[in-house]
Amino acid sequence: MKVLAALTDPAYTPRSRFNGYEKFWLRFMNDKRDLPFIRLLTVIHLTVLPLAVLLFTSLLSGWMWWAVAALYFYIAQFYFKGRFGLMFHCLCHRKTFRPAYQQPLHNYITWIICPLFGHAPESYFSHHMGMHHVENNNGEDASSTMNYQRDSLRSFFAYFFNFLFLGFKQTFQYLFARKRKKLYTRLTLGEWVFIFFCIGMCFVNLKATLVVYVVPFFFARFVMMLGNWTQHSFIDNSDPENIYTNSINCINTPYNHICWNDGYHIVHHLRPGMHYTDMPQEFLKRKDDFARQKAIVFDGIHYLHVFYYLMTKQYNKLADNLVNLNNMFDNREQAIRLMKERTQKIPV
């Protein structure tokens, strides 16, 4: 186990000078701390978007088309996917742009850019904001992990396929039952427009549609479910609504530098609207509460590591990277025993 080390995750460093490109965008933005989002969107518009359009043209054929398709898929679905997905997550929680520009720019990102990364328009926002953060992974959350054995690969695939085939229906039913008409309308419109759009584009260029839209859609749902599974793998069955003990934090990892401190998932559920650069300090402020609740905090590893160690039941590896806040565990065996208890299925 580890002691709490100095945090290396990104925090905001105040600046007094900005270049012309930054000054231009600051006229549209609420918070100068969000300039990295604009830089990421700019690079995506210079790389991912042109390549996606190129694949639908007749300029490429034969092996050249497949070479560009492979390059495109790597850039969009492996290099930028996590960065974009977690940036969009931040955009959903905070109004990035000033009132006059917020809705047009958010709609553009939602309807034009999100599908390039496998996100059907409006689905993520409706599910994540309308249900997941309301229920905090509890029983009525369509993506809840409670009803599964969370160190079992078989259970994970049952969870994934359940959400893949029934997630839309369950999310719609949840929102409809609570009379959240705006959200269930957006959810339905986004899903069905995306489906019919993909069907139509298959008649234009089948190969390009599969590479640019269809395969990324299934890949995105898999990645999102893997992430949510890992973030909510450890749950105290005596108090499943306790945010400190139904999620985890991953600190001091390069992942936090490219995915906007997404490792601070407990902090995020405690303070959903908090800017990502404030999360490390918020964690330090609450560390005594984390220790008192025996919250699971890993140092130096991220969600893919945690998922792999869980699926292979390497609790010793998890214990190696577990932070023993305020000596909340007497020994390594006690920590492993608690982690095993928190991965047990909780019937809903």
What are the E-state strand segments in 260-343?
Answer: 296-299
Residues 6+ apart with CB under 8 A from 238: none
| pLDDT score recorded for residue 348 | 82
User: Does residue 214 lie in a domain region?
Assistant: yes
Is the per-residue pLDDT at 46 higher than 90?
Answer: yes
Are 71 and 163 within one domain? yes
* Torsion sign, CA atoms 11, 16, 21, 26: positive
Are 205 and 102 within one domain? yes
Which pair of tokens denotes residue 318? 């998890």
Domain boundary among the residues 196, 231, 266 is at 231
CB 86 within 8 A of CB 259: yes
Indicate the pTM of the whole model: 0.96
User: Does residue 315 lie in a domain region?
Assistant: yes
* Torsion sign, CA atoms 250, 285, 10, 73: positive
User: Does residue 2 lie in a domain region?
Assistant: no
Residue keyed to tokens 């999360």: 279
| pLDDT score recorded for residue 291 | 98
User: Does residue 238 lie in a domain region?
Assistant: no
Are 185 and 273 within one domain? no
Average pLDDT over residues 47-60: 97
Give residue 249's domain range.
243-342
Helices 62-74 & 48-56, crossing angle to 10 degrees?
150
Domain boundary among the residues 231, 261, 287 is at 231
CA 40 to chain centre: 16
Are 73 and 206 within one domain? yes
Q: Name the residue type at position 97.
A: F
Question: How many residues appear in the chain?
Answer: 348
Which alpha helices (DSSP H) does 48-152 contain, by range? 48-56, 62-74, 81-93, 99-108, 123-127, 133-135
Average pLDDT, the chain: 97
| pLDDT score recorded for residue 201 | 98
Are 247 and 220 within one domain? no
Q: Domain count of the chain?
A: 2
User: Does residue 11 lie in a domain region?
Assistant: no
Are 54 and 138 within one domain? yes
Residue among 292, 347, 295 nearest 323 (CA): 295
User: Does residue 143 lie in a domain region?
Assistant: yes
CB 302 within 8 A of CB 255: yes
DSSP 128: I
| pLDDT score recorded for residue 59 | 95
